[in-house]
A and B are shown apart, each in its own frame.
Chain A
């Protein structure tokens, strides 16, 4: 019997399986392998010290901001909130947004607690002293800076406008850029939550 034909068919099937095996496509930027896994030690808005592992199993959405932020932060947090609410109900509990304030001077844990509870019960407000925040920002290749304060003591803070998405294992998976729509974020998060459960 000639074995070449079945072998070729099997090979072809494998090849096709390779092509269609990972049919996951994402709207967000994939960052697997580009960025390190999630690690931090920060102070939660209730004053507790928490580590990344405390939220193990959860899809974590890391965002750097500050509570006096006029536009980017509230818009981003509101969009994340809408996107999570639009997910299938049983999957919503798998997602935890982490709002890290990079303005510890003004954002006390209490102020931070009030701010995040405004958006979503699941949102966790985190902060730390500036050196610890600098280390965390550096790990995710981002930074923040402060403008000169005006006569009322108000100042602007430059910070990342992206949301870093980590899966249940803490691996970096997606980067949500500012241009994404709520629907696109919902679809990506649902897909990630499903594949994490599977």
Chain B
């Protein structure tokens, strides 16, 4: 096997450092947690699988193909915006997050307030859905896409923004805290609505690319492909990857939320009447 395929095509020290910090942070917290609170082996596996997939599409030979083939670029964003963050969110890293939150939050001091405000704003359901679908549209807007593939800096901004937004959105959807217990946790119905809300525009965009007779993303023609492949095929497969897998992710997400809602079914809390309060 040729091991050089595991080396980054475009080495980004900041990216490697960020991944190392997250992996190290997970391991340190895991070892420090009491046995009862530690995530089980399946959850640890899911977390590192998600993290590893995202790293692989950013810092191995895969990134080379993603830069010069439209359909592989779509595969890269499918992992950065969907699959990787979904695995990380489903692995429920809440104990790890709590561990670090308890240690870091007091250190932040006055910074904690704007940070919390920014996080809460980004996690407003409508803003989160708009950002999630909007970023897909933004980076696939043909003139923007052209610039992003030409400029190294913009390319990094694009990939990082997709990953961070993916993490925020899927964490909002798969937050393991029950909305019955935690008022900040989004209700199950709203989560399902959000998944539909982001699914539909992605399907429209994917279908538009698939059925477009013209060349929408000529940057790959202009900049040369990784191997001689017909532009129509490249665009067609890329369009399908924008259309079907994200739609499937939305449906799988809805099924997971539905099953959680059914397991978490509790009688409605009795409305507190004046009579009840005085009793």
Contact = CB atoms under 8 A, between A and B. Distances in A.
20 contacts: A35-B150, A137-B224, A138-B10, A141-B152, A142-B222, A143-B68, A143-B223, A143-B224, A143-B226, A145-B224, A146-B227, A147-B227, A147-B228, A157-B228, A159-B224, A160-B224, A161-B222, A161-B224, A162-B222, A175-B150
Nearest to A72: B221
Interface in B214-231: 218, 221-229
A177 interface: yes
Contacts of A157: 228
At the interface, is chain B mostly helix, strand, loop or mixed?
A: helix
Interface string B153-193: 01100000000000000000000000000000000000000
A158 B150 contact: no
B224 A158 contact: yes
The number of chain B residues touching the other chain, given as a range, is 20 to 34
Nearest to B143: A29
Given A34-B147, A157-B228, 20 more contacts: A31-B150, A33-B151, A35-B150, A64-B224, A138-B10, A141-B151, A141-B155, A142-B224, A143-B64, A143-B225, A145-B225, A145-B226, A147-B228, A158-B224, A158-B226, A158-B227, A159-B224, A160-B224, A175-B150, A177-B222
B149 interface: yes
A178 interface: yes
B223 A162 contact: yes
Interface in A14-71: 29, 31, 33-35, 64
Interface residues of A, number: 25
Contacts of B151: 33-35, 141
Contact of A34 (B9, B154, B225, B227): B154
Report, nearest first, the 7 A-B pairs whose CB atoms are least far apart.
A34-B151, A158-B228, A160-B224, A145-B227, A162-B222, A142-B223, A143-B68
B146 interface: yes
Contacts of B224: 64, 137, 142-145, 158-161
Contacts of B227: 145-147, 158
